[in-house]
Structure 1
Amino acid sequence: MSIAFLLTSLIVVASPGTGVLYTLAVALTRGGRASIAAAFGCTLGIIPAMLAAIFGLAAVLHTSALAFAALKWCGVLYLLYMAWQTLQETGALSVETRTEAKSQAQVITTGFLINILNPKLSIFFLAFLPQFIAADAPHPLGEMLLLSAVFMAMTFVVFVLYGVFAARVRDRVVSRPAVMGWMRRAFAGGFALLGARLALTDR
């Protein structure tokens, strides 16, 4: 496993995106445990893209304009839905004083959907991972699974760190209605901007 793969993966994982934004929002309003659930859900959302790349489905997505557009617009609509929910105080920034098992499951599910509806993730696996697998590798599938597992572990750890940091300042934010109002608008705008960026992306 090369240093170049680890560094590139770290840059990709740590760059602000829908998963990071969602994890931060959950940490600020539901606390550290919920942010770990959000990170776990976002990490699980990588699995479909990984399997698509392994079985060649990502290649179909990359070459089929209709398939790519369908998945892309599902992702756009979901991000806009997240933005609307956030403004309505019923989404990622809905403050809860207690975290129940059901709400944890909802946090994981939302994180999973955020990543599974990102068509660029499957394209990333298709174009990125093969570069670090030698053409004469005796077990290319095994190497791809290993690299994918490392990428997923890195995603989980980085997202948890984001969540832990946000959870530490949670009390200062939640206890101030004016700050929460600005946070809701900022996060809603962030989800909307990410949706707009996804809408404008080409294959």
Structure 2
Amino acid sequence: METKEAIKLRRSVKQYDPEHRMTNQEIEEILSLGMLSPTAFNLQHWRFIVVKDEALRRQVRAAAWDQPQVTDASLLVILCADLKAWEKQPQRYWRNAGQQVQEFVLPAIDSYYRDNERVQRDEAMRSCGMAAQTLMLAAKAMGYDSCPMDGFDFEQVGKLINLPDDHVISLFVAIGKGAEEARPRPGQLTFEEVVIEDRFG
């Protein structure tokens, strides 16, 4: 499926075939494509928690207002981010760059993030959002449906997955074989309402 078609056809599907199983190869392919998503300073601070344990899935579903896609979708990914990735051996992210580039970028990473918790969190959320979209478009290109989710108790889910203190949960992405057609788009804004030239009036 072409990228433009995947963008047009991707919809948030809530009902999935609970009997369908994705292959390990399919799951790895989707997650590997997600890992190609952009991040500021190439920090790659997203972490994809793939919830396979059925009992844990049921617990997560209970913390997500009993939404069925949590357990019924073939794949549930909890997108988290390491807020302190910037200070955890940042040379890893630039090991293939030249020495001159590293000497410029590594101090820039430190000065940009240190003592700035808002930037650390904002970048984490932006990065997870881009990764989530990549996962969903990859899934659509492979013939699967998806649903991004933030309707859950973040604190409770954090406990269930043993979320480290320096990590945050951004959202879920449920992926699987849709059991119903997506409803028509309920109302799109016009191009003129969304696209603003130069500045607000």
TM interval, short-chain normalised: under 0.3
Q: Considering fraction of residues, name the structure with more helix.
A: 1
Q: Which has the higher contact order (CA 8 A, sep 6+)?
A: 1
Q: Considering fraction of residues, name the structure with more strand.
A: 2
